Amino acid sequence: MKPAYITTLTPLRGIAALLVVVFHFNMMVMPIVDPAITQLHRHWALMVDFFFILSGFIMTYVYGGWFAEKVTTTSFRQYMAARFARIYPLHLLMLLWVVGIYVLLVPINHRPQDAESQMVFDLGTIPLHLLMLHGFNQAWTGTWNLPAWSIGSEWFLYMLFPVLMLGFRRMPLMGKVALLLGVLGLYTYLSKPLSEVLLQKPWLPPMHHIIDEVVFPDSLLRCLAGFVLGMVLHDAYQFRWGARVLGQGVVFVVLMLGLLVAWHLNIPDLWTVWAFPGLILSAVYNTGQLANLLQTRQFQRLGDLSYSIYMTHVPVMFTFLAVDELSKPQMEFPALPAPVVYGLEGPVTCLVYVLIVLLVSALTYRFVEVPARNYLNAGLKRRQPLIIPSGST
């Protein structure tokens, strides 16, 4: 039996994707608020870890029964084909978009590339992106479409998931408790000081105890920690753990407000990341006013666009940054950095940028994501009928 679609989780993906957009705008373009007032938005890189946890939960919910007893060639091929159809077409298009900007910009702009640009636009990493192996990149930053590093890491976890599921199904309760302790250990290891001085943005003071690792192998460990936590979370969901409390809308609101306060107070990510499982279960369990709000057409649409939002926002940013770069006059010596001014310009520009990203995402969702996914899935069904092994939830 095919598992029911959990509509209350859909908007959470969209909200998380928008927070990543704001995080990257503040990091790469201009400040949206004086860091002396708050730095809560600089913790929104943690939304990637939310995606990893949610992915582990959803993969177990949807595909756990496929691999409950064994991994067959047919089930593995169908499963991987479905995941490929879901993520690869848009990943490829966004890679081509950023490469296109680079190809057009380099012959026109005669300025030498700085160290950061040389790392981001590394021609040698293009084959890795094409083969979905860019999760193994060891540059200090992402390359080309920067957020796609997480897609490369998650793709590897998709391949590993059937084997993980076989062991997970047979694991006793104490084994799953040990898994949670292992996840805590990984997050402890990944929670490090973060200095973004290499970005040469004076409004980015160093931060401490941040989980924002994008360099292999730590990036893969980060993905694994979230994914495994999501798998254990699905077990808690099956046993209706905490349903009476977490199913209340006020608990969801308290968790959200608590997260915002914790980020404002610079509470280490090692602790705030554990609020995400509670948010996910609260959204799943809720059947009251919160569920009605999350199931509105606007919130559902935002969730549908989440992958497009996540994948398009940096190509859109790079496009405007490239235009700005070309509009600058040629200078013999590098210009001195402009003084940082905190005011309405940052938030207003960020809002305009978010609206443009939403528009582009709506277009890519309608004309790329959905048609490509339907076409590839239809081709799969023509080759062989869909087989859902017994034990599927």
What pLDDT band is residue 389 in, cutting at 50, 70 and 90?
very low
pLDDT tens-digit series, residues 258-289: 999 999 999 999 999 999 999 999 999 999 99
Domain boundaries, the chain: 7-326+341-383
Q: Among the listed ranges 158-167, 190-199, 214-223, 227-236, which one has the minimum average pLDDT value?
A: 190-199
What percent of the chain has pLDDT above 90? 65
pLDDT digits (tens, 9 = 90+) for 298-326: 999 999 999 999 999 999 999 998 887 77
Quote the tokens at residue 199: 């970005």
Phi, psi for 192 (deg, rounded to 5): -130, 165
Q: What whole-number distance in Å separates Cα of residue 393 and Cα of residue 389?
A: 10
Which of 117, 104, 109 shows the shortest CA–CA distance to 146?
117
Q: Provide the Cα torsion 227, 229, 231, 237; round to 10°.
A: -140
Per-residue pLDDT tens for 138-181? 666 788 999 999 999 999 999 999 999 998 988 999 999 999 99
SS (H, E, C) the chain: CCCCCCHHHHHHHHHHHHHHHHHHHHHHCCCCCCCCCCCHHHHHHHHHHHHHHHHHHHHHHHHHHHHCCCCCHHHHHHHHHHHHHHHHHHHHHHHHHHHHHHHHHHHHCCCCCCHHHHHHCCHHHHHHHHCCCHHHCCCCCCCCCCCHHHHHHHHHHHHHHHHHHHHHHCCCHHHHHHHHHHHHHHHHHHCEEECCHHHCCCCCCCEEEECCCCCCCHHHHHHHHHHHHHHHHHHHHHCCCCHHHHCCHHHHHHHHHHHHHHHHCCCCHHHHCCHHHHHHHHHHHCCCHHHHHHCCHHHHHHHHCHHHHHHHHHHHHHHHHHHHHHHCCCCCCCCCCCCCCCCCHHHHHHHHHHHHHHHHHHHHHHHHHHHHHHHHHHHHHHHCCCCCCCCCC
Give the pair of three-digit tokens for residue 166. 């076989």
pLDDT over threshold 80, residue 6: yes
Residue 112 pLDDT class (50, 70, 90 cuts):
low
Q: How far is residue 241's CA from residue 280's CA, in Å, rounded to a whole number?
A: 12
Amino acid 210: pLDDT: 87
- Preceding omega of 217 cis (within 30 degrees of 0): yes
| pLDDT confidence band for 383 (50 / 70 / 90) | low
132: left (phi over 0), alpha (psi -120 to 50) or beta: left
Average pLDDT of the chain? Answer: 88
Mean pLDDT is lowest, of 52-61, 211-220, 276-285, for: 211-220
Which pLDDT value is given to residue 60?
94
Q: From the CA atom positions of the chain, what is the Rg in Å?
A: 21
Residue 96 CB contacts under 8 Å (≥ 6 apart), including other chains: none
CA–CA distance, 29 with 22 (Å, rounded to integer): 10
Give dist(CA 48, CA 19) in Å, integer. Answer: 10
62-73: average pLDDT: 87
Separation between Cα atoms, residue 73 and residue 76, nearest integer Å = 5
Confidence of residue 388 (pLDDT cuts 50, 70, 90): very low
Residue 289's φ and ψ, nearest 5 degrees, are -65, -35
- pLDDT score for 255: 96
For residues 251 and 242, what is the distance between their CA atoms, to the nearest angstrom? 11
Model confidence band, residue 392 (pLDDT cutoffs 50, 70, 90)? very low
pLDDT at position 198: 47
The C-alpha atoms of residue 365 and residue 254 are separated, in whole angstroms, by: 32
When pLDDT is averaged across residues 26-49 and rounded to a whole number, the result is 91
Cβ neighbours of 226 (radius 10 Å):
30
Closest by alpha carbon to 315, among 126, 98, 29? 98
Per-residue pLDDT at 235: 94
What's the pLDDT at 68? Answer: 80
Write the CB contacts of 375 (distance below 8 Å, at least 6 apart in sequence).
none
Can you tell me the mean pLDDT for 57-75?
89
The model's confidence at residue 205, banded by pLDDT at 50, 70 and 90, is confident
- In this predicted structure, the answer to whether residue 55 has a pLDDT above a threshold of 50 is yes
pLDDT (mean) for 201-218: 83
Q: Model confidence over 328-348: pLDDT tens digits?
A: 666 555 555 667 778 899 999
Q: What share of the chain in percent tops pLDDT 70? A: 89
